[in-house]
Amino acid sequence: MKKTTFKKVLTKAVPLWMVFFIVLNSTMVMGIAQYYLLRQDLQKNLQAFAKTTQSPEELVQVLKKQVLPQAGYRTSLKWKDLGKRLVEVGAIDVKKYEEIFVSEADGQDHMKYLNGNWDENIIINEKNSRFMVNTLWALGLANKSKVLDEGPMKTGGTETGNFASTGGWTLGAKPAMEIYSSAEIIPLTVKQQELVKKIAENVFRPCCGNSTAFPDCNHGMAALGYIEWAVYNGLTENEIYKDLLAFNSFWFPQNYLEMATFFEKQGTKWKDVNPQLALGRDYSSAQGAARIKQSVQSVPGLQNQGGGCSV
């Protein structure tokens, strides 16, 4: 009986108006669905178009703000009496410093760190980058260091006093080689000395092919000084690499702006770049920097930002 009833329902004629209604509703549903799908695709296309239509010059300016933030880069380390100790051991001659830095913007304010004990964080920016590289250079040069006593500075075959980081240091109260690894400004344990060496071997700079474990120029010696201060104060390796990438960026703005452009082209934002990778031989050595420059040289707006290895 049920089977016969079901058969009658299937064979019963459907009114034309109902067919029209069903077709109309199906069309409307499909149309609405297609509308929203097309709208989503349009939004995606517009976003992609906005990205691709950003001029290279605008992109470079955006990256410059990321690499060289106007407010500078703030570390978690305090100055304490670090500058005062550098003056006391003869690594820095205050009068020589004044001749160079007092005439610069905010130079007089920087000089305060050479006297007293300062509970202020170490910050680097475009205005104080020269002061920072010189002061950390003095620290790296003067502090008693296993890297200096047993590393390539002593064993590389060149007279230690003939490197740019030694012979080039003219802002001390003593000759550079009297200052060299002469004072326990930062008392590091054997374990801490080993960590300093480990990190230094992985940190390069674009002015040469040597790591910070071979600090033959001012930037290398400055990086060594910062690593020692950071390790002594308990910073993690990741924090130290991050800080050094910021320091290198202000010391070599052109190279790191080019590097940020290179990574951007690869789809990686500057904030997401691994600092240890960026500071390694493949990217931050002179050879690595040359490779990066070659790959982005056609990008408009990458004007030379300068950078050098003198006081």
What is the pTM assigned to this prediction? Answer: 0.81
* Placement of tokens 């300093």 in the chain: 196
Question: Which tokens is 83 given?
Answer: 């500058």
* Per-residue exposure over 108-118, b if at least 16 CB sit within 10 Å of its own CB, e if not: eebbebbeeeb
Q: Which two tokens stand for residue 75?
A: 């570390």
First to last CA, the chain: 105
pLDDT category of residue 81 using cuts at 50, 70 and 90: very high
pLDDT (0 to 100) of residue 102? 82
What are the tens digits of pLDDT across the range 252-276? Answer: 999 999 999 999 999 999 999 999 9
Is pLDDT of 52 > 60? no
Give the contacts of 286 (CB within 8 A, at least 6 positions apart).
206, 207, 208, 209
| 72/231 Cα distance (integer angstroms) | 22
If residue 122 lies in a helix (H) or strand (E), which one and from where to where?
strand 118-124
Strands (DSSP E) contained in 141-202 are none
Let me know how long the chain is.
311
pLDDT, tens only, 85-108: 999 999 999 999 999 988 776 777
Both tokens of 65, joined, read 């703000």
Cβ–Cβ under 8 Å, residues 254 and 305: yes
Residue 156 pLDDT grade (very low, low, confident, very high; cuts 50, 70, 90): confident
CB-based contacts of 300, cutoff 8 Å, min separation 6: 55, 56, 57, 60
- Position 244 scores a pLDDT of 98
Confidence of residue 22 (pLDDT cuts 50, 70, 90): very low
